[in-house]
Amino acid sequence: MNTFVPEQHVRIILVEDDDGDALLVEELLIDTGLRHSLIRCSSLGAVRGEPTVHAADCILLDLHLPDASGIGAVAAVQEIAPDAAIIVLTGLAESQAGSEAVAAGAQDYLVKGQVDRDLLHRAVRYAVHRKQAERVSADIRAGQLRAEENARLERGLLPQPMISASRIRATSRYLPGRDRALLGGDFLDVVQTADGQLHAVVGDVSGHGPDAAALGVCLRIAWRSLTLGGHRAEDLLLLLERMLVAERPQSDLFATVTLACLDPAGGRATLYLAGHHPPLLTTADGTHEVSAHHGIALGIAPGYANWHASELTLPDRGALVIYTDGLVEGHEGEEPERLGVDGLIRLMDRIPADDTDTHLDELITQVRELNANRHTDDLAILHLEWNGIGAPAGLVPAPGKAEASSLQLDRRG
């Protein structure tokens, strides 16, 4: 983008086929005192062939050329040099043509024979300033439109829970690490199948930026489709890994994943960890980390598939919290130590848990405050809560809650 500073050199192209008029303009420019370079072209074709035209700050354009005239000449020059300010040169009886040229995109017009050095000096300076302001405004607007389009796209890719009359209430929070983004490399989802079981996934794609976000979306959609299609356990993880390897833009990208299948009628849960840390279980006695088998992350060694099931007996009332490492890798205050799982558990036990939404919001707030708001990694939390596991199927958990599930997006930051 060309930038004009009054004291700096101004690159001007004069498009004029009349030698006398061209000489007058050249002499006036010298008299203005502007530091400038001037190139003269006698036709529109000569402008197209001028190698420096794209670097021009200002083009002085006669409206009567051998190969172009009127508004058509203005449009043609705008196409050739879109970043240059255009000042139209008109005859004494053509003031209307000058106004029409400005309406068509020129920055100003001057009437031949009525131009002195001061007027020309001001016209060139102001035209370049106006063109620069127009470019900045257009860039800002284009950026806003791109941001709005990206936001609509990312919002459309966030999961909508597929839960009917489950006794388990699912609540989530999602906070991307990228500034002004809605979606990051972390992903989560939850669906209920016809047998009444609740299936959940939480994952974290390595790296940051749009590539990680796109791969996370791909894995989440693949997980939902495969789960609803009847795939389970190691078979499901193997298919997800094949999808990751096929879709990743870089061979070093991998993903950690936790799969959870909760059986409300049987009061049991089955967990699979693929490079991911274990969930947390909250009961009346407090919160602790679940003991579970660890397996390799997806994409580290494709096909190795050392994933093993971990069975968990669910208490009659409690909550399972599956999260990504953005929740625990921040600093714990001014000290160099990280918050870690132990620090997270202390926070969870200290924050009132009467209302899940308030509890999660306060948890994220305190984690970020301890990290001095140095939020750099994506953060995803899936909170699965129940009251009366193994009770009759008609029991509705969380009295006073109108919805069986509420997956939410936290866009703070």
Q: Is the pLDDT of residue 413 over 60?
A: no
Q: How many CB atoms lie under 10 A from the CB of residue 161?
A: 19
- Judged by average pLDDT, the poorest of 120-124, 316-320, 399-403 is 399-403
Output b/e per residue, 10-22; b: 16+ Cβ within 10 A.
bbbbbbbbeeebb
Q: What is residue 209's predicted lDDT score, i.e. its pLDDT?
A: 77
Q: Does residue 355 or residue 180 have the better pLDDT?
A: 355
- Judged by average pLDDT, the poorest of 181-190, 276-285, 389-398 is 389-398
Q: What is residue 4's predicted lDDT score, i.e. its pLDDT?
A: 44
Q: What is residue 50's predicted lDDT score, i.e. its pLDDT?
A: 93
Rounded (5°) CA angle 106-112-113: 150
| Per-residue pLDDT tens digits for 336-365 | 788 899 999 999 999 998 899 999 999 999
Q: Is the pLDDT of residue 163 over 80?
A: yes
Contact present, 191 and 228 (Cβ < 8 Å): yes
Q: Is the pLDDT of residue 412 over 50?
A: no
Q: What is the mean pLDDT of the chain?
A: 85
- Judged by average pLDDT, the poorest of 6-10, 25-29, 146-150, 176-180 is 176-180
| Per-residue pLDDT tens digits for 281-296 | 999 899 999 999 999 9
| Span 170-186, average pLDDT | 74
Q: What's the pTM? A: 0.63
| Per-residue pLDDT tens digits for 193-208 | 999 999 999 999 998 7
Q: What is residue 314's predicted lDDT score, i.e. its pLDDT?
A: 93
For residues 162 and 193, give the distance between their C-alpha atoms in angstroms, rounded to a whole number: 9
For residues 218 and 248, give the distance between their C-alpha atoms in angstroms, rounded to a whole number: 10
| Span 332-338, average pLDDT | 74
173: which strand partners? 381
Q: Is the pLDDT of residue 334 over 90?
A: no
- Judged by average pLDDT, the poorest of 43-47, 184-188, 244-248 is 184-188
Q: How far is CA 380 from the centre of its chain?
A: 16
Contact present, 385 and 398 (Cβ < 8 Å): yes
pLDDT band at 8 (very low <50, low <70, confident <90, very high): confident
For residues 51 and 173, give the distance between their C-alpha atoms in angstroms, rounded to a whole number: 55
Q: Does residue 188 or residue 96 have the better pLDDT?
A: 188
Q: What percent of the chain has pLDDT over 90?
A: 58
Ranges assigned E (strand) in 224-316:
255-263, 268-274, 280-283, 286-289, 310-313
Q: Is the pLDDT of residue 272 over 70?
A: yes
Q: What is the SS3 assignment for 244?
A: helix
Q: Is the pLDDT of residue 55 over 80?
A: yes
pLDDT band at 161 (very low <50, low <70, confident <90, very high): confident
| Per-residue pLDDT tens digits for 97-119 | 888 888 888 999 999 888 999 99
For residues 242 and 15, give the distance between their C-alpha atoms in angstroms, rounded to a whole number: 62
Contacts of 176 (CB under 8 A, 6+ apart): 182, 183, 184, 186, 213, 378, 379
